Amino acid sequence: MVTVDQYRRIALGLAGAVEREHMGHPDFRAPGWDGRIFATIHDTHETGSLMLTPEQQQRFLREAADAFFPAPGAWGRNGSTSVRFASVDEELLGEAMTMAWQNVMAKGAKGAKAARAPARRSSGKPTPKAVKKKAVKKRAVKKRAVERTRTRRK
C-alpha cells in the first residue's frame, strides 16, 4: 500500500521530474520544453495513471492484477495503466513509474527539436525571446496596416 504522498515522492524522485496540473489534477512530467506526462494522480486520490507501453502494461497486470488495470478506451489499449494505491507495493510501483518516466524520456529524445527554445517558462511567464518576437511581429503587422492605408488614400 502507498499513499498519495508516497506516490508523489516516487514521481518527483526521478531525475528532473516536475509536478504540474492537468485537467484539474496533479501530473508529473519529464524535464524539457515539452514536459511529457509520465504519471498522474486521479481526482479521488485513490488511484493514479502511468504511461507504460502495452507490453509493460501486460507485465504489471500479470504480476499484480489487484493493483494495476488498463485505463478506459484507447488510452488503455495504448498502455496507459491505472494503479490502485491501496493495493500496490511501493517497490513494484517504483519500478513501473521508472519505466513510465523512461518511456517519455525516450519519446522526448526522438522528437526533440535541437534549437527550439521554450516560449514559456515553467512559471507560465513568456521568455524574453518570446516577448521580443511577439513585439517584432506586432510592429510588422502595424507597419503593413499603415502602408495599406497610405496606398488607399492616394
- Give the number of C-alpha atoms closer than 13 A to the C-alpha of residue 84, restricted to the C-beta side: 10
pTM for the complete prediction? 0.69
The top-level CATH class assigned to 4-111 is alpha beta
Strand, helix or coil at 66?
Answer: coil
The domain segmentation of the chain, as residue ranges, is 4-111, 118-154
pLDDT per residue of the chain (154 residues) written in tens, 0 to 9: 999 999 999 999 999 999 998 888 899 999 877 789 999 999 999 999 999 999 999 999 999 999 999 999 999 999 999 999 999 999 999 999 999 999 999 887 655 444 455 565 666 777 787 778 888 888 888 888 888 777 777 6
Set of cell numbers at residue 4:
498519495
